[in-house]
Amino acid sequence: MEANTRRLVYCVDDEENLRVTLSYALEKEGYRCSVFSDGDEAWAAMEMSLPDLAVIDITMPRMDGLELCRRIRRVSETLPVIFLTSRDEEIDRILGLELGADDYLTKPFSMRELLARIKVIFRRIEAYRKDTAGPVNHEDNGFLQAGPLYMDTHRYTVRWNTTPIPMTVTEFRILAALIKNPGVVKTREQLLHEAYPEDLYVSDRSADSHIKRIRKKIQAVDPLFSSIETLYGLGYTYRDPEDPVTA
């Protein structure tokens, strides 16, 4: 494979030994790899050109991984981000996912597992590209609607009335799973199976973070949006605002 056709991965970590190890492992797997010792250094490179995927440590000097992810999401909703963290608190993981990270690993981690997760993400991207490039031949003509919410399942676009709402592929799949079955309760496990059909590693707790991000994005357009309902101990459901509420 030509060098310029290989996927480019940015690795951002203040541990030099880990940067060397990551670079070696990724190059061996056929990826191109650029390494950075802190968020400032990585962001300067990203302002010039974005990679195909970023592996980012959370705790770093100058600019930490959470701030770097915030900046990435201002310019790209779809760039895959995997967080690395030496802190095992649930709040760090959930906060990272709320910012738009696709996955996380707690140090120390298996390099084989990291490479497996990277492959899963790239497979998901390829599946998305095939879906958006293919002909519209489904019975629903590629569109889903629930009140003012419209979803194009072939182009992975979302709009509220006429206003576009940017969403990641994962967020899109979760929202589509809900509005395909309005009023039906979907467990976290069911939603994540819809979002990550190729992935065996994702924790069902990450569903809460993705739902929170979906709500936030729609509420930025319509502050009164409340159709995604939480059923504590069960999961989530989508209530079409135009449907009557029955006792």
In terms of pLDDT, which residue wins out, 160 or 127? 160
pLDDT tens per residue across span 202-243: 555 678 888 988 999 999 999 999 999 999 888 999 987 655
DSSP states of 140-166: TTTEEEETTEEEETTTTEEEETTEE--
Q: How confident is the model at residue 166 (pLDDT cuts 50, 70, 90)?
A: confident
- Domains, the chain, ordered by start: 3-132 (3.40.50.2300), 135-238 (1.10.10.10)
Give the pLDDT score at 239: 87
Q: Is the pLDDT of residue 129 over 70?
A: no
Give the pLDDT score at 89: 59
Whether the CB-CB separation of 44 and 70 falls below 8 Å is answered with: no
Give the pLDDT score at 175: 92
Q: How confident is the model at residue 40 (pLDDT cuts 50, 70, 90)?
A: very high
Beta bridge partners of 103: 82
Q: Which residue has the tokens 């999961």?
A: 235
How distant, in Å, are the alpha carbons of 84, 94, 130, 134, 207 from that of 108?
9, 19, 35, 41, 24
Give the lowest-confidence range in 115-119, 151-155, 182-186. Answer: 151-155
Give the pLDDT score at 180: 87
In terms of pLDDT, which residue wins out, 131 or 224? 224
What percent of the chain is helix, strand and coil (3-state, nearest 5)?
A: 40, 20, 40
Q: Which two tokens stand for residue 122?
A: 């790239």
Number of H helices, E strands in the chain: 8, 11
H-helix segments, the chain: 16-28, 39-48, 65-75, 90-98, 111-133, 169-179, 188-195, 206-219
Q: Is the pLDDT of residue 200 over 50?
A: no
Which residue type is seen at 3?
A: A
Give the pLDDT score at 29: 95
Mean pLDDT across the chain: 82
Give the pLDDT score at 24: 96
Give the pLDDT score at 170: 80
